[in-house]
């Protein structure tokens, strides 16, 4: 084996051992590090840090800011450790098959091919090829951050620095708006488990959206 991955798992510490059971025996993974999920306290001040809808409930805002804080820690760890071929996983990421050789560029390893804005609800009809596919940001974007491949520590620092702005959107929206990741890997390497979201406090449809990137129709041309 001539390549290896470093995996950074964002999760509650008590979930760590159960999550890594499916990863420790994969020879391509030579390093697995815990990134404790961040749960922020609502002090009435940090609520203004998130650029979101006016009627978003405070607990949901704190959950989204906690997600951003967790990913910041993961990105900083990548930079400090100077590791390449990094995979950042959230605790609900589910490996769908064999881990391939590292992509040439940073990319999404799973997610949902969603509309460019939530006002547009037209289905995304494309036929991805196996392997790396370029994101056509004028037609669609990739939503969700449960499985991200960050090629180099320098790219990790670039993304990290971009998050320190006065008003940040949800982390997945922030990544897509700034087009930090130009590619997605198909078929998805990781999907999202069906579970109660720590942010929404309810079962959402993310596990359905993450199956095959949410593509229901494939263009035959």
The pLDDT value recorded for residue 220 is: 43
pLDDT value of position 203:
58
The predicted model gives 13-27 an average pLDDT of: 90
Tell the CATH topology of 5-214: Spore Coat Polysaccharide Biosynthesis Protein SpsA; Chain A (3.90.550)
| 98 touches 199 (CB < 8 A) | no
pTM: 0.90
Looking at residue 41, what is its pLDDT?
74
List, for residues 27-79, the tens digit of each pLDDT value.
999 999 999 999 887 665 566 777 876 567 888 888 899 999 999 999 999 99
Is residue 210 classed exposed, middle or buried when 0-12, 13-18 and 19+ CB atoms within 10 A define those classes? buried
Domain ranges of the chain: 5-214
Handedness of CA 61, 64, 70, 75 (dihedral sign): negative
Distances from the Cα of 138 to the Cα of 31, 113, 135, 177, angstroms? 37, 12, 9, 11
Least confident of 7-11, 200-204, 210-214: 200-204
- Separation of alpha carbons 102 and 118, rounded Å: 32
What are the angstrom distances between the C-alpha of 156 and each of 4, 90, 97, 112, 132? Answer: 18, 16, 26, 22, 20
Average pLDDT over residues 194-218: 68
Task: Please report which confidence band the pLDDT of residue 204 belongs to, taking 50, 70 and 90 as the band edges.
Answer: low
pLDDT score at 143: 93
CA distance 115 to 4: 34
Q: Which strands form 86-90's sheet, in the order they lie side by side?
A: 29-36, 5-11, 86-90, 147-150, 107-108, 183-186, 131-134
**pLDDT tens track for 88-133:** 999 999 999 788 899 999 999 999 998 887 666 677 888 999 999 9
Share of the chain above pLDDT 90, in %: 62
What pLDDT, in 10s, does the model give residues 147-201? 999 999 999 999 999 999 988 999 999 999 999 999 999 999 999 987 655 555 5
Judge contact between 213 and 113, C-beta under 8 A: yes
């Amino acid at each position: 084996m001539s390549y290896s991955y470093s995996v950074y798992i964002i999760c509650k510490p008590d979930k760590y051992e159960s999550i890594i059971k499916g990863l420790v025996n994969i020879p391509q993974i030579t390093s697995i590090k815990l990134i404790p999920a961040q749960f922020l306290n609502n002090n009435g001040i940090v609520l203004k840090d998130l650029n979101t809808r006016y009627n978003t409930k405070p607990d949901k805002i704190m959950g989204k800011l906690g997600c951003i804080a967790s990913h910041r820690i993961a990105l900083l760890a990548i930079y400090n450790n100077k590791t390449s071929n990094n995979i950042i996983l959230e605790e609900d990421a589910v490996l769908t098959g064999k881990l391939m050789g590292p992509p040439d560029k940073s990319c999404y390893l799973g997610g949902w091919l969603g509309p460019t804005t939530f006002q547009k609800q037209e289905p995304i009809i494309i036929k991805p090829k196996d392997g790396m596919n370029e994101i056509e940001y004028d037609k669609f974007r990739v939503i969700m951050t449960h499985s991200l491949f960050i090629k180099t520590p320098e790219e990790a620092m670039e993304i990290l620095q971009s998050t320190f702005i006065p008003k940040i959107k949800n982390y997945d929206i922030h990544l897509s708006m700034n087009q930090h990741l130009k590619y997605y890997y198909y078929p998805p390497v990781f999907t999202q488990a069906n579970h109660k979201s720590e942010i929404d406090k309810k079962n959402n449809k993310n596990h359905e959206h993450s199956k095959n990137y949410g593509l229901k129709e494939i263009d035959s041309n």
